[in-house]
Structure 1
Amino acid sequence: MKRRVVVTGTGVVSSLGNDVETLWNNITNGVSGIKPVTSEEFKDLSTKIAGTVEDFPAEKYIDSKELKRYDRFTQFGVVAAMQALEQARVDLDKINKDRVGIYISSGAGGMDTIMENHKVLLEKGPKRVSPFFIPMSIHNMLAGLLAIKTGFRGPSFSTVSACATSNHSIGEAYHQIAHGYSDAILTGGAEATINPLYFAGFSKMRAMSTANETPEQASRPFDADRDGFVMSEGAGVLFLEEYEHAVNRGAPILGEIIGYGSTTDAYHITAPDYQGASRAMKLAIERAGIDPEDVDYINAHGTSTPTGDVSETKAVKEVFGDHAYKLKVSSSKSMTGHLFGAAGGIEAIITLKSLETNTFPPTINLENPDPECDLDYVANQAVEGEIDIALSNGFGFGGHNAVIAFKKF
C-alpha cells in the first residue's frame, strides 16, 4: 500500500528574499526580482539583467572557513536546506538517520568554481589549481555536504535534468518515501549561473531576454511581446516525510504530495514537444487518483520563451479539455526569473503557499496576451479563491518533463 507523503519544512534563497515568508510576500504583491547586472564582465553580452541574490545570510549557517570551500550554488543549497530542517523541527539527535535521505541537485553545478580554476590553469599553471576544485564543482557535493552536516545516512543522489532537475528530485524523493524505502528526504535544488559563460551560451541560442532597459518587465510569460527567459540564481529545498512519521514527531504539515509524472519528449535538444508535457501531467493526475477536473491551479513552467509558453498551453488544453479554461495557470518566473535547476524547488514552495493561503499567484507583465496563449494566467495581480489541488510543472532541455501534484492538508 502506498504511504502518504507530506511536506513539513521549506527553505529558500532567491532574488525575492532569502526566506519563505519574504519570497511569498513579494510573490503575492507582484514584485519582480530582476535587476541590471553591472559587472564589467557582462559589458559585451546582449543580456545584462538577472535575478541575483542579495543580502545572503551565509554566515548564519556556514562558518567562514567552510565558505571558502563551497561554490556559490552549494552555499545557497545549504542555507535553504537548514531553513527547511528548522521549520520541520527536526531533532538530529532523535531522528533515525538511516531512514532519512537527501535528493538535491543543480542543473549546472559549480560553474563559478570551474571558471575561476580554468583561469588559474591558463594564467598560472596546473600547480596553482585548487585542491578543492573537484569537490567544489561537482553537482552531487551539495547532497554530500548536507549528509555530513546532518548525519543522514539514507539514500543520497543528485538528479540532473536541466530545468526539470528539482521536480525530478522531489518526485523521486516522493516515490522513495511512498514505497517505504525511507521515512524522510531533504530534496530540491540550487543554482548559481549568473556568469558570462552561461550568459554567452544562452545568448547565442537567442533564449534569453534582451530587455535590458526594463529589467522588471523582461520576464513576461504568455505575453505576445516576450523575447526569452531571464536567468536567476538561488535555491529551494523541501523536507518530505511519511505522514505517520511527521505526526509522531509533532511536525508542522504544510501540504501533501499526491502524485508525480515523469516523461521524455524524445524529440529535440531544446525545442519542446507539448505531448511529452501533457503525458507527464496526465501521469501525475492518474497516480494521484484524481480527475483532471479536481485540479484548481497549475504553477506553470512558463519561462517566457516564444515556443515554450505556447507548447505548455497546448499541453494544458490537451490534458484538461474544457476545464483548462476554468482552472488558473500562472508563472511565478515572471517575478523570480528562471532558476534553472532550482526552479522546481522554489515553485514547489510557492505552490504549497498557494494551497495554504488560497491565493493564486499572478503572472506579472502580462499586458498583451499571445493569441495562442488564451487561458486564465492570473494576469498581473494575485487572486484569492479556494485551492485544494495544484500541479507544479517542470520541463528541461533534452525533453525532460516532471510534474508534481500537491494537495492542501
Structure 2
Amino acid sequence: MSGNGQVVVTGMGAMTPVGADAPSSWSALLAGKSGVRLLDEEWAADLPVHVAAVLAEDPAALLPRTEARKLDRGQQLAVLTARQAWQDAGAPDVEPERLAVVIGTGTGGILTTLGQNAVFERSGARRLSPFAVPMLMPNGPAACVSMDLGAKGGARTPVSACASGAEALAMGQDLIRAGRADVVIAGGVEAALHPFTIAAFAQMKALSTASENPEAVSRPFDVARSGFVMGEGAGVMVLERAEWARARGARTYGSLAGSAVSSSAHHITASDAEGQARAMEMALRDGGVSPQDIGVVHAHATSTESGDVAEADAIRRAIGGHAAVTATKSMTGHMFGASGAVGAMVSLLALTEGVVPATLNLEQQDPRVDLDVVRGASRTGQWSAALANSFGFGGHNVSLVFTK
C-alpha cells in the first residue's frame, strides 16, 4: 500500500506497571519482570482480591501539583504518555488542523466519579470539586491531549471496554487513510483500581483470588490460571501518513498496515472465537498480508480459562499455529482500555528489535492451546509482520497488523 494509504508509526509512549515510559516497559517485559504486587493498602483489606498491577511510577508526581489536581489519574496518564510519544516522534511540525487525537478508555474517569460521589455522600454538594465533571468525562483524556499538543483535527474517544486502545489505533489509521489528518496521536488509557471496581469484577468471578505469590498469579495459557489481574496504564503511538513522514525525514518503527473491528453479537462477557477470527482475517486482508507472513502474535490472553482457549482457537483458524505468540498481561496485568495499545507497541517492537518477550508463569501449557507460545526466555528472530489482538466485553474484537 502506498501514497495516502500507508500509515507509519514514528513515536511511542507508555506508562505501565513495569515501566514509566516505553523503553523501560519494553526492557522490563524482555527481562520477565512482573508488575503485579500485593495490595497492602488499608482500603483493600476487606476485598476478595488482594493483588493488582499498579503503575511503576505515580503520574501525579511527574506533573506540577496545580496541573495534576485538575486531572483524573487517567487524564494524567494520557497527557504524560502523549508527550513521550510526541517527543519520540521528533515533535512533528504539523498544521494544528491536520493533527488529530484518538484516545480510548474502558471506564473513563471512574476514580473521580467514585471519589466525588463519596465526598457528596459524606459532606454534601458544596464540597464537590469544580473540576469533577471535566475529570470524569470519558472523552477527558483525548480532550486533554488535544489541548496539551494543540491538535485541532478532532479529538475522539472510542469506548469499547478492553478493546478501546486498539480501536483508537484503528480509528487513527482510518483518519489518515481518509485524508482527514496527516498525524494522529492514538492509544488507550485506564486508571480504575478502586475497591468498587475490584469487588465488581470479583463478583463476576473474572479475577483470580490467589495472592500467596503475587507475581505468579497472572498466567495466560497455563493450566493453573485462575482469572485475570487488574492493572492500570497507558500506551500511545504517533501515526503519520507515510509520505508526510518521509518528507520530514522521520525515523519510523514500521507500518500499521491493517486493522479490523468486528462485533460478535453473541454474549455481553463471553469470548467468541468466530468473531475474533473474523477480525484477524479482515485485518490481514486490509493490510495485504498473508497468514504465513505473520511471525509474531501479541495475544489478548487475559489469563481466564474460557477466554484464552477461545482466542487460541481463533488464532489457529485465522493464521495457523506457526507464529511466535506472547502474552504480556502475565507481567502487566490487564490494563483494560490501555492493554490493546500497549500490546500493539509490543508487537511492533518485536518486529523492530527482532525479539519476542516470553510469557511469564507459563509452566504447563493448556493442551487446548495449540499454539507456539514463547515461554522461559525471550525469543530472537526476524519476522516481516506481526498481529496484535484486543477483545472487550460486549463482543468488541479488534486486530491490528504491523509490518517492517
Aligning the two structures, in what range does the TM-score lie when normalised by the shorter sequence?
Answer: over 0.9
Counterpart of 1:309?
308
Counterpart of 1:169?
168
What secondary structure, in the 3-state scheme, does the structure 2 residue paired with 1:282 have? helix
What secondary structure, in the 3-state scheme, does the structure 2 residue paired with 1:401 have? strand
What secondary structure, in the 3-state scheme, does the structure 2 residue paired with 1:325 have? coil
Counterpart of 1:49?
51
The 1-side partners of 2:385 and 2:56 are apart by: 33
- Taking only the aligned residue pairs, the percentage that are identical comes to 38
Q: Contact between 1:270 and 1:397, CA under 8 Å: does it hold in 2?
A: yes
Asked if 1:349 is matched to 2:349, the reply is no
Q: 1:18 aligns with which of 14, 20, 25?
A: 20
Counterpart of 2:371?
375
Deviations 1:370-390 (A, max 9, x none): 111121110131110112100
- How far 1:55 sits from its partner (Å)? 2.9
What secondary structure, in the 3-state scheme, does the structure 2 residue paired with 1:406 have? strand
The 5 Å alignment of 1:121-140 reads 121-140=120-139
What secondary structure, in the 3-state scheme, does the structure 1 residue paired with 2:373 have? coil
Alpha carbons of structure 1 residues 59 and 214: separation in structure 2 relative to 1, 3 Å: closer
Counterpart of 1:33?
35
Counterpart of 2:229?
230
Tell me which amino acid in the other structure corresponds to 1:142. P
- How far 1:53 sits from its partner (Å)? 1.1
Superposed CA RMSD in Å reads 1.2
Asked if 1:396 is matched to 2:395, the reply is no
The 2-side partners of 1:55 and 1:293 are apart by: 39
Unpaired stretches in structure 2, ≥5 consecutive residues? none
The 2-side partners of 1:298 and 1:105 are apart by: 22
Q: Contact between 2:59 and 2:73, CA under 8 Å: does it hold in 1?
A: no
Tell me which amino acid in the other structure corresponds to 1:296. G
Counterpart of 2:269?
270
Counterpart of 1:77?
78
- How far 1:58 sits from its partner (Å)? 4.4
Deviations 1:34-54 (A, max 9, x none): 111111111111211111013
Counterpart of 2:186?
187
Tell me which amino acid in the other structure corresponds to 1:327. A
Deviations 1:107-159 (A, max 9, x none): 11111111111111111111221111110011101111111111110021100
Greater displacement, 49-58 / 69-78: 49-58
The 5 Å alignment of 1:197-208 reads 197-208=196-207
What secondary structure, in the 3-state scheme, does the structure 2 residue paired with 1:213 have? coil
Counterpart of 1:90?
91
Aligned length: 402
Q: Please, what TM-score do these two structures have when normalized by structure 1?
A: 0.96
Counterpart of 1:5?
7
The 1-side partners of 2:175 and 2:37 are apart by: 39
Counterpart of 1:286?
285
Q: 2:402 aligns with which of 398, 406, 409?
A: 406
- How far 1:179 sits from its partner (Å)? 2.2
What secondary structure, in the 3-state scheme, does the structure 1 residue paired with 2:382 have? coil
- How far 1:250 sits from its partner (Å)? 2.1
The 2-side partners of 1:40 and 1:32 are apart by: 23
Counterpart of 1:365?
361
What secondary structure, in the 3-state scheme, does the structure 2 residue paired with 1:230 have? coil
The 2-side partners of 1:388 and 1:224 are apart by: 31
- How far 1:3 sits from its partner (Å)? 1.7
The 1-side partners of 2:347 and 2:53 are apart by: 20
The 2-side partners of 1:17 and 1:384 are apart by: 22
The 2-side partners of 1:25 and 1:15 are apart by: 13
What secondary structure, in the 3-state scheme, does the structure 2 residue paired with 1:296 have? strand
- How far 1:210 sits from its partner (Å)? 1.3
Counterpart of 1:297?
296
Counterpart of 1:118?
117
Counterpart of 2:215?
216
Alpha carbons of structure 1 residues 362 and 161: separation in structure 2 relative to 1, 3 Å: same
Unpaired stretches in structure 1, ≥5 consecutive residues? none
- How far 1:396 sits from its partner (Å)? 0.2
- How far 1:57 sits from its partner (Å)? 5.3
Deviations 1:243-272 (A, max 9, x none): 111122222211111100110010001001
- How far 1:105 sits from its partner (Å)? 2.3
Counterpart of 1:67?
68
Deviations 1:321-363 (A, max 9, x none): xxx2221111011111110000011111111110111112211
Q: Contact between 1:359 and 1:387, CA under 8 Å: does it hold in 2?
A: no
Q: Contact between 1:58 and 1:79, CA under 8 Å: does it hold in 2?
A: no
- How far 1:97 sits from its partner (Å)? 0.9
- How far 1:213 sits from its partner (Å)? 0.9
Counterpart of 2:156?
157
The 1-side partners of 2:342 and 2:272 are apart by: 24
